[in-house]
Structure 1
Amino acid sequence: MSTQPKQFNIHEDWTVVILGFIIIGISLFIFLPEVPVFGWSNTTDLFTKVFDLANLKILLIQFLYLISIGTIGAFLIGRSVKYFLFTFPIVYLLTLIALILAGNSAIKSINLEAVIFSLIIGLAIGNFFKLPEWFRSSLSTEVFVKIGLVLLGTGVIFSDILKAGSLGLIQALVVVISVWYFAFWLCRKLKVDDELTMMISSAVSICGVSAAIATSGAIKGDSKKLSYVISIVLVTAIPMMIFMPIIAKYFNFPEEVTGAWLGGSIDTSGAVVASGTLVGETALKISTIVKFSQNVLLGLAAFAISVYWTYSHNTTSEAAESKPTLKVIWERFPKFVIGFIGASLIFSFLISPETRDGVKDSLKNLQGIWFALAFTSIGLETNFKDLLSNNSRKPLYAFLIAQLFNVIVTLIIAFLLFS
């Protein structure tokens, strides 16, 4: 029997846009959630910082805030509010464990992000314990991901894009376009399925985790495939972060070139910062600018991917011999992209820099929490055997070969533009 009442139902994508702007409105005009502390180095730190009474109070307020937003979402979409209220505290508690693990200084030093711990914890619980079907069906994975993506738009500021400079933007455009098409072509040659092809192409060419998540949302992709791609991205970033600075120093690359190389080819922002720091201050600055220049293309990429996907995967009866109409494109277009772009425009042109600076840390924290909640949910609803055995090695080979192509092309462009 279905657990989803039918008396009220708004499209999921419009719901996440509504929820995203509710969060933004609350942060700007009503209440700014404090950012909890998750960083710790030893047991003493753990109890005096993370489990400090003041921090626990912040976490409690955050829990009430998130469950309120999620409850509104469950109601608007037409899901069972009762089951959501039962499952969310469990998902939140597991996510907190992941965030605390990721906050350890030793873990941070190797740049393992919270989402990988969320996924691992979810997989462990979901595969070692038999969860009721109503529990799995009440998980709000897509809602959590898309709320995080709408909030991601608040960090894409047009004035910052201009500050990135023409060279950074030129490199970002050339790298993203060339690497994306190479990865797409390679996946097709290796007969990787269409959803994984799109996620791998975006992840390796644009900005890793965020690009894979946005692409999955744009094509309404399988969350199991998304978790597979995210795992590859995060694991691959670690050796790149360590060995690329070593290679650059061995061959005496100029710092500017090294920074552009790191920023254009390493897929996660945290790993870019860590690797740039290993080289020097100039490399850190250039790598950050180049990486940010790639990140700002995410909204445009999601828009283009969603339109392409609608044209190439239209299954309506008339589509067999004709292109889909604008109406079909609009119906299938992921509305969260509108939320992402709208948030970016508001924070770029309608809000003062002082106000923006005052809320950015809180909104970034909320964005990260929603993503972490999503990956805990993905783990809980995913069969571990399916995640590993049902995927052939071809997607992994495609990603690694495309990443090697990315490293070579980015280095050539970095020398041409920054040497």
Structure 2
Amino acid sequence: MSARRFLPGLVVLCLGAVLARGIELVLGANHLLVAIGLGFVLANAVGVPDRLEPGIATHKLWLGAGIVLMGASLTLDTLLEAGVVVVAVIALVTGSTIVVVELLSRNVFGLADRLGSLLAAGSGICGVSAIVAVGGAIRARESQVAYAAATVLLFDAVTIVVFPIVGDVLELSGTVFGIWAGVSMFSTGPVVAVGFAHSDVAGQWATVTKLARNALIGVVVLGYAGYYARSADGSRPTVRTLWDEFPKFVLGFLALVLVATAGVLSPDQLAAIENAYNWLFVLAFVGLGTEIRLTELRKAGPLPVLVVLIALLVASTLSLATLSVLL
């Protein structure tokens, strides 16, 4: 595959990143949120030509690379400092979200079982990635996968705006805000964006918390596959399937944490790595903005949106109350 087919889209990502940084210098707006806004405008007001699609689609790669490099700015001591709290809150919020969505979907709003499960996985674990993984394991219809994905994308777009406002109004500390965003929001990109929009500390904790939550995807896929395997069309995921869905950049992130803990990096090297991952995040968020399509968001009907909204309100309130007590 020719590398040149990626070049036009990569140029657009780079121009968007530089423009976002420039707007921050002139207007004071956070460059990560500006980057998402620029991508959103490009996709919805102008449209993304086919020749730009391959390069812009690499934004997930840059996000993963940025997260890996961010590991160099953390040490095991830092992670263990609030590790027990993070694990406890993740378990509490993830479990409550999945249960609330399943109960509302099946017993209150009468949604199809598989659609409810897709909504539960997407809002409880890691957004569209979890929806796709669980959808394959339980053989959900493509229309159900698309419906659930559109609903989650709608909340990704809303929470990118709402969470920073709530954090400012409540004057949350960087640690509390970061963990709160990491356990409450749905997709990795928006979580990292709002975390670093708040502060570096919040960005680091938001990312770490979200990665820990994402790691539960294998457990959730196995659980749903086992449940639906009782029906004739159920299927069990293979080890290869679980490995394919596992976010590999988590391993790179942990490797860099170990390197940082060993103290082998100089202050200049750490500063260079921090500058690199900051730029990678800006590139990634320009591309992330192009994923928020108004045409797709309109497909999310009122009932799935209402189910996920109630679950989000329960999870975010529960997690914030818990964090306020424990931290």
Selected match of 2:180 from 235, 244, 265: 265
* Aligned equivalent of 1:398: 311
Selected match of 1:122 from 43, 54, 57: 43
* Aligned equivalent of 1:333: 243
Equivalent pair of 2:123/2:152 in contact (CA under 8 Å): no
Higher relative contact order (CA 8 A, sep 6+): 2
| Separation (CA, whole Å) in 2 of partners of 1:231 and 1:339 | 24
Under a length normalisation based on structure 1, what TM-score does the superposition of the two structures give? 0.55
Kindly provide the amino acid, as one letter, of the partner of residue 122 in structure 1: A
Residues 99-118 of structure 1: pairs in structure 2 closer than 5 A: 99-102=21-24, 104-108=26-30, 112=33, 114-118=35-39
| Separation (CA, whole Å) in 2 of partners of 1:303 and 1:139 | 28
Bigger radius of gyration, 1 or 2? 1
Task: Say if 2:208 is the partner of 1:296.
Answer: yes
Q: Deviations over 1:71-126 (max 9, x none)?
A: 64xxxxxxxx54x44554445545554454455444239x8453244224322223
Residues 223-238 of structure 1: pairs in structure 2 closer than 5 A: 224=150, 227-238=153-164
Selected match of 2:95 from 171, 181, 184: 181
**Number of aligned positions between the proteins:** 289
Where structure 1 has 5 or more consecutive residues not aligned to the other structure, the ranges are 1-7, 9-70, 73-80, 203-210, 249-257, 275-287, 415-419
* Aligned equivalent of 1:242: 168
- Are the structure 2 counterparts of residues 405 and 297 from structure 1 closer, same or farther at C-alpha, using a change threshold of 3 Å? closer
Pairwise CA distance, 1:396: 3.1
Under a length normalisation based on structure 2, what TM-score does the superposition of the two structures give? 0.67
Where structure 2 has 5 or more consecutive residues not aligned to the other structure, the ranges are 106-114, 136-144, 183-193
- Are the structure 2 counterparts of residues 213 and 344 from structure 1 closer, same or farther at C-alpha, using a change threshold of 3 Å? farther
* Aligned equivalent of 1:385: 295
* Aligned equivalent of 1:361: 274
| Separation (CA, whole Å) in 1 of partners of 2:84 and 2:299 | 40
* Aligned equivalent of 2:104: 190
| Separation (CA, whole Å) in 1 of partners of 2:177 and 2:13 | 35
Q: Percent identity?
A: 10
Equivalent pair of 1:195/1:219 in contact (CA under 8 Å): yes
| Separation (CA, whole Å) in 1 of partners of 2:296 and 2:234 | 36
Residues 267-286 of structure 1: pairs in structure 2 closer than 5 A: 268-270=194-196, 272-273=198-199
Pairwise CA distance, 1:238: 2.9
Residues 13-412 of structure 1: pairs in structure 2 closer than 5 A: 72=3, 82=5, 84-90=6-12, 92-94=14-16, 96-102=18-24, 104-108=26-30, 112=33, 114-126=35-47, 134-135=50-51, 138-139=53-54, 143-157=58-72, 160-166=75-81, 168-191=82-105, 193-202=116-125, 212=127, 224=150, 227-245=153-171, 261-266=176-181, 268-270=194-196, 272-273=198-199, 288=201, 292-293=204-205, 295-309=207-221, 312=224, 320=232, 324=236, 328-334=238-244, 337-346=247-256, 348-349=258-259, 352-354=264-266, 356-379=269-292, 382=293, 384-392=294-302, 393-394=305-306, 395-412=308-325
| Separation (CA, whole Å) in 2 of partners of 1:218 and 1:100 | 38
